[in-house]
Amino acid sequence: MGELDPYLIPALDGVAYGLLLFVVAAGLVLSFGVAGILNLAHGTLYAIGAYVAAWLADGGWAAVPLALVAGVVAAAAAGTALAGLLTPVRRGDHLTQALLTFGLALAGGSLLVSAFGPDDLPVRVPAALDRPIDLAGHSYAAYRLVFIVVAAVIAVGLYLAVTRTRAGMLVRAAVDDPQMVACLGVNPTRVRVGVLAVSGALAGLAGVLGAPIIGPGPTTAATVLLLSLVVVVLGGLNSVGGTLLAALAVGEIQTLGVALLPTAAPFLLYAAMALILAARAQGLLRRWSTA
């Protein structure tokens, strides 16, 4: 155990980072897999949540539920607005979607910077969590431990929602065969708007909870978007489990990987992404062309 000791903290950080990415990427999987929308503004939805957290959090407990509700509602509203704006764009026309959502991301990012200033904002967590605690001889930020627990609960909740509820069944059905779902009398527009609202809510939730980890700033949206795209690609689009594994892997590469292999780690992420995509291009193609 002795020689593993220095890597305990980066590994734990990787779990926190990975779970954070999972919650963001789950939203991206939903919008791409179910609604067929390549949403390049997804990172901006995260940034909305993170800015709301930085704005409302004052170090007290009362601000936590307030920031959660406000951040989730704001990002879900932005996701719904996105669904409305994307309505005239043909399904599957990913280039126009990219143009539109990237434009919205640019404009939204600019508005956020005008509203909150050009600097990275500090985020105050409740005082009880804003201290290191002792963990097997290491001191570790209490907030991150709590975050790992909360994010794990969210992950389990998402898994149950997708596999056990009627809405989750609809979502899975819409990934496999959107036309059949429409034939069964489910309004595709409602599915789209609902999916983008939930996708926004997940990004906002991740933004509020993750603000102390990936904080709000001018580059937040791009960072989160790129990392969650990598997660979506590595995890495929077929399972919550795949996305979770990919998110944890990316999280560990970003933390443990940097500690273990400082020269190779920066390449690992995108090399893995390119290789896996190329290797599975044929299999993915069939799935993605229907998505």
Partner 1 sequence: MKRLLLVPAVAFAAALPWLVDDYTTATLARLLVLGLVGVSVALLTGVTGLPTLGQTAPFAAGAYAAAQLGLHDVANEPVRLLAAAGVGAAFALLTAPLVVYARGVIVLMITLAIGELAITVASRWKSVTGGTDGLIAAPTLDTDRARYLYTLAVVVVLVALVLLALRSPAGLLLRASRDDEARMRASGHPVTAYLTGAYAAAGGIAGVGGALLVTTQQYVSPADFSFDTAALLLLGVVIGGAGSMLGAAAGTAFVFAARDWLSGLLPGHAPLLLGALFVVTAYLLPRGVAGFDWRRLGRAARAASPGAMRRRNQEA
Residues near 274 by beta carbon (within 8 Å), at least 6 away in sequence: none
Phi, psi of 220, rounded to the nearest 5 degrees: -55, -50
Kindly state the smallest distance separating residue 270's Cβ from partner 1, in Å: 4
Rule CB under 8 A: say whether 284 interacts with partner 1.
yes
Residues near 92 by beta carbon (within 8 Å), at least 6 away in sequence: 36
Distance CA 181, CA 1 (A): 53
DSSP letter at 2 equals G
Kindly state the smallest distance separating residue 258's Cβ from partner 1, in Å: 13
Kindly state the smallest distance separating residue 128's Cβ from partner 1, in Å: 38
Kindly state the smallest distance separating residue 271's Cβ from partner 1, in Å: 6
Contact 189, 29 (CB under 8 A): no
Single residue of 11, 66, 161, 222 touching partner 1 by CB under 8 A: 222
Rule CB under 8 A: say whether 238 interacts with partner 1.
no
Half-sphere exposure of 270 (CA within 13 A, CB side): 3
Half-sphere exposure of 201 (CA within 13 A, CB side): 12
Single residue of 57, 70, 100, 175 touching partner 1 by CB under 8 A: 100
Q: Which stretch binds partner 1 (CB under 8 A): 20-28, 46-54, 200-208, 261-269?
A: 261-269
Rule CB under 8 A: say whether 84 interacts with partner 1.
yes
Rule CB under 8 A: say whether 271 interacts with partner 1.
yes
Contact 8, 14 (CB under 8 A): no
Rule CB under 8 A: say whether 72 interacts with partner 1.
no
Contact 29, 93 (CB under 8 A): no
Rule CB under 8 A: say whether 93 interacts with partner 1.
yes
Number of chain positions touching partner 1 (CB under 8 A): 50
- Dihedral Cα 92, 19, 259, 129, nearest 10 deg: 140
Which residues are at the interface with partner 1 (CB under 8 A)?
Answer: 38, 84-85, 87-90, 93-96, 98-100, 102-111, 113-114, 118, 189, 222, 226, 229-230, 233, 263, 266-267, 269-271, 273-275, 277-278, 281-282, 284-285, 288-289
